[in-house]
């Protein structure tokens, strides 16, 4: 699992590559928490390189969504492949967490809605 965090103007881009198994969930959660602490509360998770997500990975995503909301921000996921997208659909994550096709689409949402202050 490769995790890359890149600060943006009003968000942090977190790119995930590989398989998000239970053993990597803690590392991903720590990266997300670090991004929320250091920068704006908006998170863009680019999952275009993510081939699989286990239930602990989903828990990590849900916690990220809740923490960003608590801080006045939002979380947007992009680039889900068919496997990951079907997991989001089966679990209902696609109903509570915003999903876009590409990171560029997600950036338009961040630009359209100014960052909220807690």
Task: Name residue 45's beta-bridge partners.
Answer: 14, 77
- Under DSSP, the state recorded for 31 is H
pLDDT in tens, 41-94: 999 999 999 999 999 999 999 999 999 999 999 999 999 999 999 999 999 999
- Which structure tokens are listed for 111? 């630009």
116 versus 29: which is more confidently predicted? 29
Q: How much is the pTM?
A: 0.87
- Alpha carbons 44 and 77: distance in angstroms, whole number: 6
Query: Quick check: 117 pLDDT over 80?
Result: no
For Cα atoms 11, 14, 16, give the angle at the middle one, nearest 5 degrees. Answer: 160
């Amino acid at each position: 699992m490769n995790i890359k965090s890149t600060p943006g103007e009003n968000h942090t881009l977190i790119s995930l590559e590989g398989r998000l198994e239970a053993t990597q969930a803690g590392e991903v959660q720590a990266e997300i928490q670090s991004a929320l602490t250091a920068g704006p509360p908006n998170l863009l998770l680019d999952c275009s390189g993510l081939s699989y997500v286990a239930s602990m990975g989903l828990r990590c995503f849900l916690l990220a969504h809740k923490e960003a909301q608590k801080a006045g921000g939002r979380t947007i996921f992009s680039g889900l492949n068919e496997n990951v997208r079907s997991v989001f659909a089966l679990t209902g994550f696609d109903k509570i967490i915003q999903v876009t096709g590409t990171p560029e689409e997600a950036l338009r949402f961040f630009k359209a809605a100014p960052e909220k202050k807690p």
